[in-house]
């Protein structure tokens, strides 16, 4: 049965999480955005309120995406310069630097002051066991993301206990991180190395989930490059590579398909004028960036992706006609 569930996704698709056979050379992705959107769509108004309380309201506005172009994702991942947090699309090209704040502008999740990998997120084995029990993962070997769907779907309202509400918040974060922002290489499973940031549901929004997600993506890029250098065809693209697509489409000149930048965007990419370092943001710049209107949501970027795919299809038809 396990083999039936883990079928490889063709290149250019990422409709749901899927594994691949050892013989497969097709690219697959652990991002399960369709499953995520289906779960979000079924949330009650009160559950949406709880999601907003922890600062993950941006997830509620993510549109349905039928396909993710994995060839494009792999191409962009190979163009990332991990040490400088930037993308260089061609030799001698201008670096396009990205920051956790850019991740926030695309997905609208918390970009707080606390570091998920810092001392504020220290956690004891006893606390880990408490979280497992709270979100329905009673067995130590059970880290199935699918099992969280039923848990998140349980009825919760204003009269529910604080433990029930906090458990929903923790389960929702684990589900979202595992299916979109920090998908690991193992099918239907999630890492627990950020659980120190969800041990107290009231403090979830105080942590920098954007920085964590970006660093997770950079590790995925590093792994991809190592495999490529070793002439190993990577089967799985991990990390939130969808961010790279949205970010590049927002920052590369695409003619009439290019999204308009607001003044905050332009100021942020200039870096910190006090240090003349393009990789350092002043405190004021960060505050302006975080509190500026999120005019370009992921929905806008998805529209650009659809337009690009349509243009590619038209070009293929033209080339075919010429032949």
* 150 located within any domain: yes
* 286 located within any domain: no
Radius of gyration for the chain, computed over Cα atoms and rounded to the nearest angstrom: 20
Q: In DSSP terms, which residues pair with 277 in a beta bridge? A: 272
Query: How far is 306 from 311, CA to CA, in rounded Å?
Result: 9
Residue 177's domain comprises 2-259+296-316
At residue 66, the pLDDT reads 83
> pLDDT of 123-136, one tens digit each?
999 999 999 999 98
> pLDDT of 84-116, one tens digit each?
999 999 999 999 999 999 999 999 999 999 999
* 155 located within any domain: yes
**Helices assigned H by DSSP within the chain:** 2-5, 33-41, 45-53, 70-78, 100-107, 125-134, 146-152, 162-176, 209-229, 242-251, 263-269, 283-291, 298-322
* 40 located within any domain: yes
Assign 311 to helix, strand or coil: helix
Q: Cα-flanking dihedrals φ and ψ of residue 311, to 5°?
A: -65, -40
Q: For residues 236 and 30, is the Cβ–Cβ distance under 8 A? A: yes
Q: pTM of the full predicted structure?
A: 0.75
Q: In DSSP terms, which residues pair with 87 in a beta bridge? A: 80, 96
Number of structural domains, the chain? 1
* 277 located within any domain: no
At residue 231, the pLDDT reads 86
Q: In DSSP terms, which residues pair with 111 in a beta bridge? A: 208
b/e code 53-71 from CB counts within 10 Å (16+ = b):
ebbbbbbeebeebebbbbe
Query: How far is 199 from 124, CA to CA, in rounded Å?
Result: 10
**Helices assigned H by DSSP within 92-233:** 100-107, 125-134, 146-152, 162-176, 209-229
List the chain residues with pLDDT less than 50: 1-24, 141, 256-257, 261-297, 310, 314, 317-318, 321-323
Q: For residues 107 and 55, is the Cβ–Cβ distance under 8 A? A: no
* 132 located within any domain: yes
* 309 located within any domain: yes
At residue 184, the pLDDT reads 83
Distances (CA, A) of 307 to 115, 240, 256, 261, 311: 37, 21, 11, 18, 6
At residue 304, the pLDDT reads 54
* 322 located within any domain: no
Q: For residues 208 and 100, is the Cβ–Cβ distance under 8 A? A: yes
Assign 173 to helix, strand or coil: helix
């Amino acid at each position: 049965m396990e083999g039936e569930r883990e079928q490889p996704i063709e290149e250019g698709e990422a409709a749901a999480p899927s594994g691949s056979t050892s013989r497969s050379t097709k690219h697959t992705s652990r991002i399960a955005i369709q499953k995520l959107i289906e779960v979000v769509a079924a949330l009650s108004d009160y559950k949406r309120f709880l999601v907003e309380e922890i600062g993950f309201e941006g997830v509620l506005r993510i549109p349905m995406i039928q396909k993710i172009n994995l060839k494009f994702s792999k191409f962009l991942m190979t163009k990332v310069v991990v040490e400088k947090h930037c993308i260089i699309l061609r030799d001698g090209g201008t670096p396009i630097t990205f920051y956790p704040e850019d991740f926030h502008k695309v997905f609208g999740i918390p970009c707080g002051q606390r570091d998920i990998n810092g001392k504020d997120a220290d956690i004891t084995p006893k606390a880990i066991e408490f979280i497992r029990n709270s979100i329905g993962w009673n067995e130590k070997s059970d880290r199935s993301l699918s099992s969280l769907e039923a848990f998140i779907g349980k009825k919760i309202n204003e009269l529910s206990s604080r433990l029930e509400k906090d458990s929903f918040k923790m389960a929702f974060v684990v589900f979202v991180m595992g299916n979109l922002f920090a998908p690991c290489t193992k099918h239907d499973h999630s890492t627990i190395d950020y659980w120190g940031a969800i041990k107290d549901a009231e403090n979830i929004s105080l942590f920098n989930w954007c920085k964590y997600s970006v660093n997770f993506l950079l590790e995925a890029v590093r792994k991809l490059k190592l495999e490529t250098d070793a002439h190993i065809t990577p089967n799985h693209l991990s990390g939130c590579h969808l961010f790279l697509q949205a970010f590049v489409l927002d920052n590369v000149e695409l003619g009439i398909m290019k999204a308009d930048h607001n003044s905050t965007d332009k100021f942020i990419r200039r870096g910190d004028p006090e240090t003349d370092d393009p990789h350092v943001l002043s405190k004021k710049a960060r505050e302006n960036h975080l509190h500026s209107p999120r005019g370009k949501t992921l929905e806008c970027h998805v529209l650009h992706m659809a337009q690009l795919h349509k243009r590619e299809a038209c070009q293929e038809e033209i080339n075919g006609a010429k032949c």
